[in-house]
Structures are given as C-alpha cells and as structure tokens.
A and B are shown apart, each in its own frame.
Chain A
Amino acid sequence: MPVVIKDGNFVEDQFIANGGGFTSLGKFGQDSFEATSDLVGLDVPNDTDPADLAGFIDHVDAIRIPFPTYADGRGFSIARALRQMGFKGLLRAHGAILADQYPMALRVGFDEIEVPAEHAGRQPQSQWRESMGRVNDNYQDRVMSPTQPKPSAA
C-alpha cells in the first residue's frame, strides 16, 4: 500500500476513502468520459504542457503528478503552473519524492505526497515532519513580497 503524507503525517488516502478515483488524462480527454467515482482525479503525465490542462482544471477535484525519479523536477513546475492558472483542487505528487524535497513540493502548491511503502519505510514520518519545518524561511517569499524590508546597510 502506498503511503500518503499530509501536513507531515502519514495518513490514510482520504481522497480514495471519500469515493475518489484517478483517471488517466487520455481517457478523461475523450468525449465519452463518464466519471466512475464521486470525486474525479486526473493523472497527468509529467511531460504535459500545463497550458493544455486549462480546459480541465474546473472539472476535476484532484490532479496527481508523477515523479519517476527524485531527480526529475518537472512536476514542481507543472504544480506551480497549475496553481498559477487557478487550479484550486487537491494537488498530489506521486512517486520518488524524498523527505528533503517535501518543503519544495509544498511551496510549489502540492497538498500531499504519495510514496511507495518501501520508500516510506526508509524515510519515516519523523523525517517528513522535520523537513516540513523548513517551509517558511525562504528567500523566494522575500523577493516576491511587496513588503520586503530594506536591509540595513553594513
């Protein structure tokens, strides 16, 4: 069973528990698509151009983006772009994500992470909680914020 990490905790897959299901983008794109679950989740391959998803984002409850290896960072940009396009639903990263990448995932707009059980076994909850603590102190909030304090001169 894969493990879902939310707010730094290993939790039950609430999306599935609440009657959700994930469908591949190809199937969803067909006219004949009929929701097979109450909550509609979309599996988006990580070579998708986020702009191509513009028509879907208002019709799905969740989007799941795969990380085939932790070195493949496309998912970070797709998540960010989806949020910038106004996607308000659940964003889930799925696959080879390291506990140390958790703050990055949260900061680009992911809500939760789904990792294989073996992976979660080696990187226990404590590591995710610890790395979550690093979310707030970052340079990007500072350089993007309109109220960046003027640093005092040396």
Chain B
Amino acid sequence: MYLYNEFDDKFVRARVNQFRGQVEKRLDGSLTEDEFKPLRLMNGLYLQLHAYMLRVAIPYGTLDSAKMRQLAFIADKWDKGYGHFTTRQNIQYNWPKLKDVPEILDALADVGMHAIQTSGNCIRNVTSDHFAGAAADEIEDPRPTSELLRQWSTDHPEFQFLPRKFKIAVTGSPNDRAVTKAHDIGIRMIRNDAGEAGYEIIVGGGLGRSPFVGKVVREFLPREDLLPYLEAILQVYNLSGRRDNKYKARIKILVHETGIEEIKVAVEKNFLTQKKYFQAPSDALVSAIEDYFIPPKLIDEDVKGLEEAMLKNPALRSFVDTNIEEHRVPEYAIVSISLKPIGGTPGDATSEQMRLIADLAEKYSHDEIRISHEQNLILPHVHKSDIPALYDELKTLGLATANIGLVSDIIACPGMDYCALATARSIPIAQEISTRFNELKLEHEIGKIKIKISGCINACGHHHVGHIGILGLDKAGIENYQITLGGDGTQNMTIGERAGPGFSAEELMPALERLIAAYLDIRENDDETFLNTYRRLGQAPFKAALYPETADA
C-alpha cells in the first residue's frame, strides 16, 4: 500500500489549511457562494438535496485497516454513523456541516487520505481494478501506475478548470473490471509482440446522457511516455473541448464531433512538445512507486477444513460459490463482502461494519481492503483455510450475503433519496428488486446478472452497461423507468439498447419478473447467462416478455 512520504503529507496538510482559509473566506463574505463553489468542489464538497456531502477519495480502491477505522471514526463523529461507498471507489458522507469539514479533512490526512479532486471539472480520483495485485488473470499490478497518475494530476496547474470533469481508469488485466472503456481516458497495461510492457490508451468513453464506448487513440505507448502523452491529451482537450454546453463538454463529445483520427493527429503532435518537458521517464517513476506495492508474504500452507465446513453448512457453500474469486496463489482467495444485503441500501456501511472489516482485514487479509466500483468491499488475500471463520464473523454484522454477481448485487446511484439532480428514486427500486427475487427464491437459478439503476440521465448508476439497465425519469411529475438490455461494462463494452416505453414504479417489478421468467424459459442451459442468451437471441423474445399486449397485437 502506498504510504505518504513527507512531501505527500506536507502537501495534503497544506491543502487542508488552504481549504480552512477558504471556508473562513466564505463565512466572512470575501468569497461569494459562486466563487466558493469551484474551490469547495476541488475539495470534494458538494451541496446536496438536504445538506453538504463530502466525497472522500479512496485512490484505486485500496485501503488498510487504519484507514478504514478512520472512515468509521469520521462517520461517528461528524456524520450519522455510516458512509456510502460509490461506483467510483469513493466514500461519501451525506451529513457533514460546513464548519466541520476542515477538521474532517485533517482527520483524513492523519491516515494519508484526502478529498482532493473528487469533484469539480478536474482530473478526478483515478480508479482501478479492485482485484489488483491479487487476481489470477493479471498481467501486472495497475496500482503503481495509478498512484503516479494521482501525483501527476493532483493540483495540476493547467488542468483544474477543464471544460468538464475528467475520469481516468487503469487495468492490469485483460479481463477489464475497471470499466476502462467508459472513462475519459482508459489505460490498459499490455505487452507488445516483442514482450515489452506498455499501455493501450483509450479515449472518449463515457456514460451519462450520451454514452460512448472509448476509442483507442494509441495502441501501444511505451511506459516511459505515459505522463507526456496524457499531458498532451489533456492540453488538447482543455483548449478544444466545448464550453458552450455543459452536456457536450466531456471529451467524448470532442472525440465524437472531431473524429478519433483528427484527435490522434493533434495529440501526437502535442505529445512531441510535452515529451521535452518530462525529463523523468514515466517507467522510472512507476518503478520507484512499485516498492510500496510489494505483494504480501503469503504463507505456503495447504488448504485445511474448508471442504468439511462447506459440507456441514450449505450457506457457507453458497457464499464460497458466489463471493470468492481465484487468487493468483491457488491456496488463497479473493473474498468479496457484499454491501447489498437483501432490501438494504447498495453501498452503505455502518461504522460498526467498517470496524469489523478493518479487524478482519488485519486478521485474515494481510491488512488489505479494496472497494469495488460495484459498491462492494473486498479482502484480497485470504487463505482458503480461513474462509469458514471469516464467514462466521462477517455474519455477525450482516455482511455475509452470498450474492456477488447475482440479481440482488445491484448498482444503484443515490437517486431521489439524496441527489439534487435526480428525476426518480433509485435505492428503493434496488431494494424492491432484491427483496422480490429473494422471496421467489430464484436468485441462484438466475445466476450471473448485472442490474444497474440510475436516478436520472446522468447515469451514475452505470445503467447503460447493465445487462439490465434501469433509468428513472420524470414524466409529467410521475416516475417512469426505462429499461435497457444487453449492456456490458467489460473489455467487450456494449451500450445497452432501450427495450421500449418506460414503466411506472408499480409496473416495473412485474415487468422485470416477466423478463427474468422469459430468460429462464429460453436459455439454452443453466450455464447460459442472461447476457449470453440476449446476445444469442436478440431483443425480440425479451421485448415480447416486457410488452405482452403489443406482442399479441
């Protein structure tokens, strides 16, 4: 795990003091609310529906127990005893008071954390694969690269006031768990034919009201050139991105309207200039950071007791079936902790739960915790012999829900319950879906499926890339839910297709039930997932299930 050096610490403290000054300037009137806004946004402070909301960065989703305990402490002291993990590897506090925020930021700095650039039109918190450093399919750990990007982008003098926010994701595995193709810049760590390590650079992906799959702007970028190349993309974007319309200001629109070929020419030309100014090769910077990410010393011991425990306890077996991923070391497992209890709020964790997870990370996972963009927590290095004990402890605080990747493992944005921009509720819909399918006892039969819900067209719930996407709109004062089908957020990123007219909140659940029943009916066998069935048969049979009246006519 990256540890702050003296410089990082000094920098973050200085930022806290600066923000303390800005809060004072706001309170004494030397800054208007309008002028204060971009400054508070640079420090992660939003004005929400009911109160301020503070968004804290969890860079590339990596935490240790000390950080997690501090998050719990903050939740207790300055919020209502819980926090909300988001789809961008952040944690949000929904109820801080403006005057307390500098103190909260100080508490974060005590454990090497901050809220810098978690909002505003700047380069946001860099996200990465939540299984980084543990996954069996990984080429390379993406976190040292991500950390370098955090440093490069933090307080970058040129790129704090971009046309719009700018999100970067990095993956070190061919199986893309970081949704890189839906980011302003997506970075894939690859090897070329000669076996040299480099990056594939993808630009202009994004969801929101006009979703785009990112396009490759450079097929193979040598590792030494990473920063000057990104600098070039950002300078081109800052100068040419649209500023006349906030909905057309993301780089995806620039790429779309200008064409990827022309963008490529502009970026490559600019890159030649930037290269002269980056005197340290990026690969050397990355390898200096790699020292912080030395893999934990795993013990070489056979797995004992797990099989027996699973025989005795079917619930444990089901937990292992769904919540465990292959670790690069076969005796180890990556354990996902679901923050989607049946009927709960996706992504919420209480301070008590955070503390338990911190304890368990210390005890069973070499003090490492990860946050996934699917709003779950992960213990990345658990010896398989420890799984039964871990499971029992998780159960004590309702953290052993065996539903990772299943129908109740729903991504939902905050929606009408918290968000000022929402046009419909999102969390209650997720709760209803998970409760209903749990009653029907169908969850395991349905198998792997991704349902994603957004409470407005901004698509924070990633509905475009849900196998089933749900978008809540407002039709003349009444909530209306549009369904998209066939979306996919992996390396094969696909934008879901709209199935047809939307449903009212009351009609939605029966429609989803018909949809799932149709899938179970027409799938080739139990192993054919919803997405694969959809790809094989197309939209027609699903549409017929959603709209039986029109199908008969």
The reply to whether the CB of B285 lies closer than 8 angstroms to some CB of chain A is: yes
Q: Are B239 and A77 in contact (CB under 8 A)?
A: yes
Which 9 pairs from chain A and chain B are nearest by CB? A73-B161, A153-B291, A146-B279, A107-B157, A104-B157, A154-B3, A77-B238, A139-B151, A76-B158
Q: How far is the CB of A25 from chain B (nearest CB, A)?
A: 16
List 17 contacting pairs A-B, 8 Å CB cutoff, sorted by A: A49-B239, A50-B239, A72-B161, A73-B158, A76-B157, A77-B239, A78-B239, A98-B31, A108-B157, A122-B29, A134-B14, A137-B14, A143-B278, A147-B280, A148-B284, A148-B288, A151-B289
Q: Are B30 and A151 in contact (CB under 8 A)?
A: no
Q: How far is the CB of B18 from chain A (nearest CB, A)?
A: 7
Interface 9-mer from B4-12, B509-517, B523-531: B4-12
Chain B residues near A122 (CB-CB < 8 A)? 29-32
Closest chain B residue to A154 by CB distance? Answer: B3
Chain A residues near B273 (CB-CB < 8 A)? 84
Q: Are A151 and B291 in contact (CB under 8 A)?
A: yes
The reply to whether the CB of B160 lies closer than 8 angstroms to some CB of chain A is: yes
Q: How large is the interface on B (under 10, 10 to 19, 20 to 34, 35 or more residues)?
A: 35 or more
The reply to whether the CB of B337 lies closer than 8 angstroms to some CB of chain A is: no
User: A73-B159, A151-B5 known; A144 and B288 CB under 8 Å?
Assistant: no
**Cα distance, A104 to B161, chains bound together (Å):** 10
Q: How far is the CB of B43 from chain A (nearest CB, A)?
A: 11
Q: Write out, one digit per residue, whether chain B residues 203-244 have a CB within 8 A of any chain A CB (1) or not (0).
A: 000000000000000000000000100000001001100010
Q: Are B1 and A154 in contact (CB under 8 A)?
A: yes
Q: Are A98 and B157 in contact (CB under 8 A)?
A: no
Contacting A80 at CB < 8 Å: which of B30, B235, B278?
B235
The reply to whether the CB of A81 lies closer than 8 angstroms to some CB of chain B is: yes
Chain B residues near A131 (CB-CB < 8 A)? 18
Q: What is B's interface to A at a CB cutoff of 8 Å?
A: 1, 3, 5, 7, 10-11, 14, 18, 21-22, 25, 29-32, 35, 38-39, 121, 148, 151-152, 154-162, 227, 235, 238-239, 243, 273, 276-280, 284-285, 288-289, 291-292, 294
**Cα distance, A143 to B22, chains bound together (Å):** 28
The reply to whether the CB of A30 lies closer than 8 angstroms to some CB of chain B is: no
Q: Are A100 and B18 in contact (CB under 8 A)?
A: yes
**Cα distance, A111 to B239, chains bound together (Å):** 21
Q: What is A's interface to B at a CB cutoff of 8 Å?
A: 49-50, 70-74, 76-78, 80-81, 84, 98, 100-101, 103-105, 107-108, 122-124, 127, 130-131, 134, 137-140, 142-148, 150-154
Q: Are A139 and B154 in contact (CB under 8 A)?
A: yes
Q: How far is the CB of B230 from chain A (nearest CB, A)?
A: 11
**Cα distance, A79 to B346, chains bound together (Å):** 45
Q: Are B279 and A145 in contact (CB under 8 A)?
A: yes
Contacting A104 at CB < 8 Å: which of B31, B160, B243, B278?
B160
User: A71-B38, A77-B158, A122-B30 known; A153 and B280 CB under 8 Å?
Assistant: no
Chain A residues near B278 (CB-CB < 8 A)? 143-144
Closest chain A residue to B240 by CB distance? Answer: A49
Closest chain B residue to A121 by CB distance? Answer: B30
**Seed contacts A72-B243, A143-B227; 16 additional CB < 8 Å A-B pairs:** A73-B158, A74-B238, A74-B243, A76-B161, A77-B235, A78-B239, A98-B31, A101-B160, A103-B157, A127-B30, A138-B155, A140-B155, A145-B280, A150-B288, A151-B292, A153-B292
Chain A residues near B7 (CB-CB < 8 A)? 137, 142
Q: Are A100 and B285 in contact (CB under 8 A)?
A: no
Q: How far is the CB of A153 from chain B (nearest CB, A)?
A: 4
Q: How far is the CB of B270 from chain A (nearest CB, A)?
A: 9
User: A84-B273, A127-B30 known; A70 and B38 CB under 8 Å?
Assistant: yes
Chain A residues near B121 (CB-CB < 8 A)? 71, 73
Chain A residues near B39 (CB-CB < 8 A)? 98, 100
Q: How far is the CB of B297 from chain A (nearest CB, A)?
A: 14
**Cα distance, A92 to B162, chains bound together (Å):** 20
Q: Are B238 and A73 in contact (CB under 8 A)?
A: yes
Q: How far is the CB of A17 from chain B (nearest CB, A)?
A: 29
**Cα distance, A1 to B288, chains bound together (Å):** 51
**Cα distance, A42 to B18, chains bound together (Å):** 34
Q: Are A138 and B25 in contact (CB under 8 A)?
A: no
Chain B residues near A108 (CB-CB < 8 A)? 157-158
Chain B residues near A148 (CB-CB < 8 A)? 280, 284-285, 288
**Cα distance, A113 to B426, chains bound together (Å):** 46
Q: Are B161 and A140 in contact (CB under 8 A)?
A: no
**Cα distance, A153 to B289, chains bound together (Å):** 8
Closest chain A residue to B288 by CB distance? Answer: A150
Closest chain A residue to B287 by CB distance? Answer: A150
Contacting A143 at CB < 8 Å: which of B30, B152, B160, B162?
B152
User: A77-B235, A139-B155 known; A144 and B35 CB under 8 Å?
Assistant: no
Q: How far is the CB of B217 from chain A (nearest CB, A)?
A: 19
Q: How far is the CB of A78 from chain B (nearest CB, A)?
A: 7
User: A100-B22, A148-B285 known; A143 and B157 CB under 8 Å?
Assistant: no
Chain B residues near A151 (CB-CB < 8 A)? 5, 288-289, 291-292
**Cα distance, A70 to B38, chains bound together (Å):** 9
